[in-house]
Amino acid sequence: MNGPSLRILVRSGRASPASAALAYLAGIALAELLTTYADPRLGMATHCILLALLLYHSSRVSGEQERAFLICLAFAPLIRILSLSLPLTRFPVVIWYLVTSIPLFAAALVATRTLGYTWPELGLTLHGWPLQIAFGLSGLAFGAVEYLILRPEPLVGALAWQQLWPAALILLLCTGLLEEIIFRGLLQRAAGDVLLRWGMPYVALVFAVLHIGYRSVVDVLFVLAVGLVFGWFVQRTGSLLGVTLSHGLTNIVLFLVMPFLLG
């Protein structure tokens, strides 16, 4: 669905939740493709339009569940807008994760309170922690596999404890915890209320689309598969602990460990 059609649906209020969700997913994918393969400024502009449309659309719908879904979906363009707009080019990449996470943590807190969600409802609980920790170890395998797909450069200068632990902590909190709160906490809950059984797959698709910037179709498919596993596990257990650990370990292995072992 093109931009004008999306705007017409928003203004008219005739878009069903499912059609609106698909239209926004297509818009996010287009913005990511423009950012990666055309001009980052075009991608940035498209994400800004999407963010404005989502917030405006959320103010026009009458149902609280659909409103919550649109507000939570707005995190997708917001993530990319922050990563593209903050003046961080003079800092190490790992610092980018830390700085961009601050407004996103704040936005997640505001959204949680505004929508009336409780921490346990979002999965912020230690319930069943032995199983959660066991699942979290899957991140070691996920990180190794994703490294073989992407072969990224390390985020630190050497495989030394003094450099590893601060970067590992940033990745655990600013990618693992933050992104799981946003995607498997806020968005998956809100999408499930509106899209029912399609809510979890939809969130996995949004999560995968935001990885287009790595310029690898294989990686997008891999992230989609991991997102489906994460979403299923959260649905079954009601906790974000396991996926937070797995997500954080995936990025630690991908960016801090494997580049020195196989690079």
Query: ∠ CA(19), CA(24), CA(27), 5° rounding?
Result: 130
Q: Are residues 142 and 99 in the same domain?
A: yes
What integer pLDDT is reported at residue 85 of this predicted model? 87
Tell me how many domains the chain contains: 2
Q: Are residues 79 and 173 in the same domain?
A: no
Structural domain that includes position 111:
90-263
Q: Are residues 133 and 209 in the same domain?
A: yes
**Residue of higher predicted confidence among 113 and 16:** 113
- Statement: residue 73 has pLDDT above 60: yes
Q: Are residues 134 and 259 in the same domain?
A: yes
For 118, what's the count of Cα atoms within 13 Å in the CB-facing half-sphere? 4
Q: Are residues 66 and 127 in the same domain?
A: no
Q: What's the pTM value of the predicted model, to 2 decimals?
A: 0.92
Q: Are residues 168 and 198 in the same domain?
A: yes
**Separation in Å, CA 143 to CA 140, 216, 249:** 5, 16, 7
Examine the fold and report which residue of 85, 116, 133 is the final residue of a domain before the chain moves on: 85
Name 216's Cβ contacts closer than 8 Å, sequence gap at least 6. 149, 150
Q: Are residues 52 and 139 in the same domain?
A: no
What's the gap between Cα 224 and its chain centre?
11
Percentage, residues of the chain above pLDDT 90: 85
Instruction: Give the residue from 188, 66, 73 showing the smallest Cα distance to 123.
Output: 188
Q: Are residues 108 and 65 in the same domain?
A: no
**Residue of higher predicted confidence among 90 and 256:** 256
What integer pLDDT is reported at residue 181 of this predicted model? 98
